[in-house]
Structure 1
Amino acid sequence: MEMKPWNLMFFVLVLFWGFRIEASFIPADNYLIACGSSRNVTFQGRTFVPDSGHSSLSLKSGNSFVVGSNSSVPSPIYQSARVFSGIASYEFDIKREGRHWIRLYFYPKSGQNLTSAPITVVTDDFVLLDNFTFENYNSSFLFKEYAINVTSDSLTLTFIPSNGSVSFVNGIEVVSIPDTVLPDQALGLNPSAPISGLSEFAMETVYRLNMGGPLVTAENDTLGRKWENDLKYLHVNSSALNVTVNPASIKYTVSVTPETAPNSVYATAEVMGDANVASMNFNVTWVFPVDPNFRYFVRAHFCDIVSQSLNTLVFNLYINDDLAVASLDLSTLTGDLNVPYYKDFISNSSVESDTLTVSIGPDSMADITNGTINGLEIMKLSNDAGSLDGLSSVKNLIPRSSSKKSKIGIIIGCVVGAVVAVALIGLCYCYMAARRSETTQQGHSWLPLPLYGNSLTMTKNSTISQRSGTASCISLASSNLGRFFSFQEILDATNKFDESLLLGVGGFGRVYKGTLEDGTKVAVKRGNPRSEQGIAEFRTEIEMLSKLRHRHLVSLIGHCDERSEMILVYEYMANGPLRSHLYGTDLPPLSWKQRLEICIGAARGLHYLHTGAAQSIIHRDVKTTNILLDENFVAKVADFGLSKTGPALDQTHVSTAVKGSFGYLDPEYFRRQQLTEKSDVYSFGVVLMEVLCTRPALNPVLPREQVNIAEWAMNWQKKGMLDQIMDSNLVGKVNPASLKKYGETAEKCLAEYGVDRPSMGDVLWNLEYALQLEETSSALMEPDDNSTNHIPAIQLTPMEPFNNSVSMIDGGNSGTDDDAEDAATSAVFSQIVNPRGR
C-alpha cells in the first residue's frame, strides 16, 4: 500500500517524538579525553578522543611528553598517558553551568614506571588530589570520580608536579550532571537539621553500591556511573538476604528517574536475614573505611520490592550511631509498591574509628519486623580549604605567577558582573513596583490561599501596605496577619539574616531572632521556596494562625510578602523550646511546680484548639520542641504546619496520610490513618513522660525495652513506681500525691485506643489538680503523709475554661478573657501577652 507524503511525515514525527521521550539524558558538556593518544579509544561503550587538536579544549603545557604501553593494560583508556614535567592545565569550554562529573584515570605503567610520581590535581577552586603516589597503593590503576559545580564558561584542570618529579594522566571525563541528581540540601545528623548550600562544595565518590545485586558498569547506567556489589562491606555476611525482581517492574516517578539510579539498582535489594533477633537496633550493618577529617554526603536508595501489600514494611535507618530515619514506611511515601525513593544525609565518620556505618533494623511499632535497602552512595565533601585530599588550598599549591592572569580576569569579571547585577536589580525593582500599582485589587502570588481579600472587602483594621498602597496577601476582617513589614525592615531586624541569630531550621525554611526598630524582640520565619513540603506547611500555618488567638498559642505579629519572599514574624519566646530545659543543654533544671505549670499552659493551648472554634483543630505534631517558653516560662504551643481541621459534627475522624514525629505518633492513627483530637492527647501523654523523665521520646541506643519512652514509662507507671525513673533532680522534691495524679493522667493519655483517652479538657483539669496538690502540700505541716485522704479539703475551681474565651473567628473578635483564668494556678499564668502588632 502506498503511503501518502503527509502520512509518512506524520509517522516519522511520531517515531522521533517517541524516541525523544524514551531517550536518556544528553549532557550539554561531554568531554571524553584519551590523554596522549593519537587516535580514538573505545572504552565502556563510549568513544574517547585525543587531547590534541580538540576544538573546545586547550592544553597549556610547555613541558609534556607522551608515553604508551604495548603490554596488557587494565582497560583501553590506560594504553597511553601524557606526562608533565612542569605545571600544565587542560581548559574546557563549558556550555552549561552546574554540576559536572570530573573523572580521572591513572595507570603508572604506561610506557615507563611512574609509581613514585606524586600526582596533584586542582580545579579553579578545589583540590582533588594532593601528592598522591602509587607506592603504597594496593591497585595497579586509579580511577577517581568527582562532582564539581561549575559557575563559569570554562573549567580548568591543573596538574602540578612536585619535588622535581613529573605528573601524569591517562584519561579525563568532564560531563554535565542533570540538575535534579545532586541536591543543594540534605539532612544533617547529630544534630538533626537541614543543611543547605551543598552546591558550594566539591564531592568525591567514595562508595556506590548496588545492594543485593551484581556490578553495574558505566554502559548500563544513564550517567556513566559504576555500582559495585555490597557483600564485602557487610559486617556480618549472613545478616542479609538478596531479593531480585524484573527491572521492568520498577515504576519511576517525576522526582525519581533513571538518572537518579538505574532500574537494575532498584530491582535488587538486601533484606534482613533474621527479623527475630535479640537486639532490635542494628540488624544489618555495612562498614566503610573513610577519612575522619571530612564530612560525607550519604544517599540511601529504597524501593519496596519485598512486600505483597501496602503499609506492611516499616523499619529504621541508622547512620553511625544516629537514627537517620525512624519508622520508614515506603508505601506511605510513594503510594505504591516497586516505586523508587531516596533520602539524603550529611554525616561525619564514626567517633570511635575511621569508619562510617549504615544500618537497617526493624521498627518496634511495626507489624512486620523487616528492613530493606536497594542502593547506597557515599560522597566526601570538600573541607574549609576547598580540598578533598589534605589541608592545602588551591592558592597554596599554584604559584602566584601562574594564576595572576586568571585572578585579574576574575576581578574584572566580578566588577562587570556587579555593575550588571545592580542594573538588573534596579530594573526588576521598577518592574515589581509598577506591577504592584497595577494589581491593587488582587492578592500577591506568593501564597495562593483561599483567604485572599482586596481593598473593597477590608475593614478599617485590615492590613494595608503603606509602601505599595496595595492590600496584603491575606486580608482578614480582624487584621489577623498584623503588621506589614517591608523586606528591608526584615533585613534590618535580622542583620541580613545573620547566621548567629539562627534559632532553628525546618522543612519550611529557617527561623531567626530579630529586633524591631522599637527594640521589640521577634522570631522571623523565612520560607524556603525550593521546598515543596515547606510551602505546604507554610500555607497551613498561615491558615491556622489567621483563625487563632490564645494566650498559650504563639502569636503572629506580622508578615512580609515583598520580593517573592514568604516571611512571617512571631512573638519571640525568650526561653526557647521546652526540650532544651529538660536535657541536652546545661540550662538549670526546672522545678516540679514549673513543669506542672508549663504542662498546664500547653494543655490550655491544645484544649483551645480542640474546642475554641466551631470546628476543632488537631495540631498533629505535639512535642517538646513545639512547646515554647517566654521570658516568664509561660508555655505556648507553636508550629501549626501539620495542623488539620478536625472532623465535622457528623463524623468521628478525619482520614488522612500519617504525619507527625515518631515517638509521639498515636499508634491508632498510625495503623488506621484516622485522625482525631485524641491523637494530640496521645502525643501530649508522651510529652508528660518526657517532662518527668527528661529523656528523648525515642532513643535507639538504649536497651530494647527502654527505646520508646511511652512503653518504658507505662510499665513503671503500672507498677506504681514512676518515681524510680523520674529526673534525679526531682527526687525528694515532689509530693507523692501530685506525682500519682500526674502519672495517672499520663497513663490515660497513652491508652492504646483513642476512645479510652481523656479529652484535653479532662487532661487540663487533672494537671491543675496535680498542681494544687503540690501547692497545698507545701503549706501543710504533715510533709510525711503521702495519702491524699488526709489532706484538708482542696477547693477546686469549676472548670469552664472556654465559656468566656471562645474566639469569634468570623466575627472579628479574636481575643480571650484573661480574667476568666483558673485562680488555682500559679501567677505565672496571669501574664498578659503583649498585644503589640496584633
Structure 2
Amino acid sequence: MLKMGFFRVKLCFSAITFAAFTFGISFAEYIPLDNYLLACGSSQNVSVQGRIFFPDSVQSFFSLKTSEDTAFYSPSDSLPSQIYHSLRIFTKPASYKFKLQQPGRHWVRLYFSPLPGSRHDLRSAPLTVVSDDFVFMKNFTFNNFNHSYLFKEYSVNVTSTSLVITLIPSNGSVSFVNGIEVVSVPDELVYDQALAIPNAPYSGLSHRGLETMYRLNIGGPLLTPQNDTLGRTWENDGKYLHVLGSAVIVAVDPLTINYPDGVRLEAAPKWVYSSADAMADANVTDLNFNITWVFSVDPSFLYFVRLHFCDIVSKAMDTLVFNVYINSDIAIPSLDLSSLKGDLSVPYYKDFVSNSSNNTSMMSVSVGPDSMADLSNAILNGLEIMKISNDMKSFDGLNSVVDLHPSSSSRKNTLSILIGSVVGALIALGLIALCYCFIVARRSKTNTHAQPWLPLPLYGNSLTISKVSTISHKSGTASCTSLASTNHGRVFTFQELMDATNKFDESLLVGVGGFGKVYKGTLDVGTKVAVKRGNSRSEQGLAEFHTEIDMLSKLRHRHLVSLIGYCDERSEMILVYEFMANGPLRSHLYGSSLPSLSWKQRLEICIGSARGLHYLHTGAAQSIIHRDVKTTNILLDESFVAKVADFGLSKTGPALDQTHVSTAVKGSFGYLDPEYFRRQQLTEKSDVYSFGVVLLEVLCARPALNPVLPREQVNIAEWAMNWQKKGMLEQIMDPYLVGKINPASLKKYGDTAEKCLAEQGIDRPSMGDVLWNLEYALQLQETSALADPDENSVKSIPGILLPGLEPLDKSASMAEGMNSGIYEDAEDAATSAVFSQLVNPRGR
C-alpha cells in the first residue's frame, strides 16, 4: 500500500500498477451481444480509445430514416477524439433504428460537437433527441454551454428487439450528431430496488432510465473505456473535493483485489477498488471531521447513487469502521467493510436513491469516522451519480411528448403561445418586483435592529457558512433573522437545556431524526420535556428549524403539537416540546414489543389525527399543508390522544384564486401523493393521500413500504387496494384484530381509505369528509359493542347496515376542527406537545 502524502499527488502508483496501465492488463471481460458504434458523417472507420466506430453510411446493423441530411468533416486538435471530427446534419426529423439481438438494459451514448465551417450555425441549433420511450434532450444549444463538445451517456431498459433514436430539428433550424453508441449492459448491473435517503426503500429502477452525471475513480487517475469492460469513463475526483486538504490518496496493486461472489467484475474495474481517498489526518479526535465531495445537480430529479468501497488501508480485520453520508443524512452507519465481506481488499458497493440537498442545486457525499472504531479513519474508492428519468420518462424537466412532424399551423400557434407567455411573464415579473421592493422597504424600516441568524457550523462547508452569514450581515431584511424578537414561545438558554438533559446524556436519548437527536428532559419546575437538538452536520436543519417554530407558534389545537420554546444560543438549534409518554403511533403497530391497540383505540387515534389535519387545512386564514403525514409523525400522549407532529416540511396552501402550490417534491417514500410527485403541484389532497396510507398501516400493522416482501406486497397502498376492490380487506388485517371488528365498521373504513388513495386529487375527499366517515365507522363499531359488551365478539347487529341508521351529526363532529381562531382549546393544547420523529423515520 502506498500513502500519497497530505496533498493530492496523482503520479505515485506502484511499479506494478503503472505497468498494468501501460500494457493494458485485462480481466475476464464482459462481451456485449449488441455493440454498435457509429461515427456519424464519417467516410471511414474511426478508432477511439481502442474501439472501432463504423461510418453511418454503411447501414447493416441499423437503418437511418431521414429526408434531408448532410455529412460534414472538420478535423480539430482541440477536440478530445476523432469521433468529434465528423457529423451528420439533419433539416428534417431523422431516426436511427438499431436491430437488437436481445432486449434488456443498454447504454445509449451520444457525441456532439458543433464543428465550424458548415453552412449552418450549429452552436445555435437546438438539439432534441428521443427514443421510443425516453426524452434524452430537449432544445439543448451550445450557445448556453461553455465547451466545444458534449458527451451524454444513458442506461435504458429496452423491451423490444429494436431501438429507435430520433433527432428532431426545431422550427427553421437543424439537428446534428457526431457519434452514437448502443451497447448491451448486464441486467444485473442495476437492481430494481435501492435505499432511498433518508432510510426508505425505493423500487421500480428497472423501468426507469438513468443518465450518467458523475463517475469517479476516487484517489486514482482517469480511466478510459480501454480500462473498463463496459466502456465507461471514470474521472479523477480532485475537483469535486470540498476541502482539498481533507483527503490523502492510498493505493495498492490492482492484482490484490479479490471480487467476492455476488459482485460482478462489471460493477467497477479493479483500478477503482485499488485506490481510494482516506482521511488526511487519520486518528483525529474531532469526530465531526470528514471528507466531502460536492456536486451540482438538478433539484427536480431523483438520483441513483452507487458508492464503491474496498478496505485497502487496514492491516487487520475490524479496525476500520466509519459512517457514510449523502447530503446531511446518514446513509450507512458504522460501516465495517472487513466484517461485512469477511476479508480485506474485497470490493463492496451500495446503491441509494436521493435528491439534492435541501432543494438546492447541490448534492454532497461524505465519509467520516465512527465513535466505535479503533481507527478513526474513513475511505471511499468510487462513486457514481446518475439522474433518474421522471414519471414523464424524460431527463429534461417535464418534457415527454415531442411532435415529430410539426405542421406550419402548429408552428404559428406555438410561436403565438410563446410570445404571449413571454409577454405575460415579463408583466408578472414586473409586478412581483414592485411588490418585493415595497415589502423590503417596509421591513427595512421595522427590522433595522434585527440580529443575524447564524447557521450551525458545518465542517468542510465554509461556502454554506459564508453565504448565509454574508446575507445576514449585509442586510437587515435578510430572511435569516433572529426569532428572539417575535412571539415564538419561551427562549431557553443553552445552560438550562444542558441541566434539563444532564448535559445531553445519551442514556436519556429517546430518538434520532433527520434534524438531530431527541432527549428526554426535566425542567427546573419538574415538567417533562422532549428536547430536539439540531445535528451539526444537518444542512437542512436551519430551514426546518424556522418552519417548525413559525408554524407551531401560530397554531393551537388539541390534536396538533404544542411548542414550549427553543434555543438559538451558541449557534445551536434546539426545539423543546412537552414529553409524549406513548411515543409515535408506528411503535404501537409494529416493530416493538408494545401491546397491540384495540380497533376502537385505532379508530380514535385516526379520528384525532384527522381532526388535526382538518384544522390545518381549514382552521387558519390560509390553509397549511403538512407534507409529511405518516405514522411516525402521529404521536400519543399518556391517554393515547393523537397529535400530528413535525412541521419542518409544511407549506402554506394555495391562495383563494389558486388551485395548488408549485414546489419541489418533499415527503416520505411510500406516503407521497403520486400526482404531487409527477406534477410537483401541492394541494391539501396530498395530505389526504398520505393519510390514506396511514389508515392502511393502522389496519394491517405493517410498514408503508417493505422491500423484503414479494413484489406485489412491497407497497401497502397497491397491495391493500387490490384486496379492497375484491371486498376482502379482512384477509390482510392485523391478526390481532381478526374477529374483533364489526363488518360494517370495516367496510366504511376501507371505503374511506380507498377514496383517500384515488389517483387524482380531485377524486379524493377533503379531510373534513374523511373525519366524518371515520367517526361514522367508530359509531358502527360502538353500536355493535353495545349490543355485545365483549369487544372481541364477532357478532354484529343485523340492522347495522340499514340505510335508516344515521351517523353522528356532521356539524358537531367537525366543530373542534372548524374553529377559525388561531388558538383553539388553549388549555388542552398546553398539556399536549410532541416531538416529531421520536424514532428514526428518515424518510425525506
Bigger-Rg structure (1/2): 1
Q: Which has the higher contact order (CA 8 A, sep 6+)?
A: 2
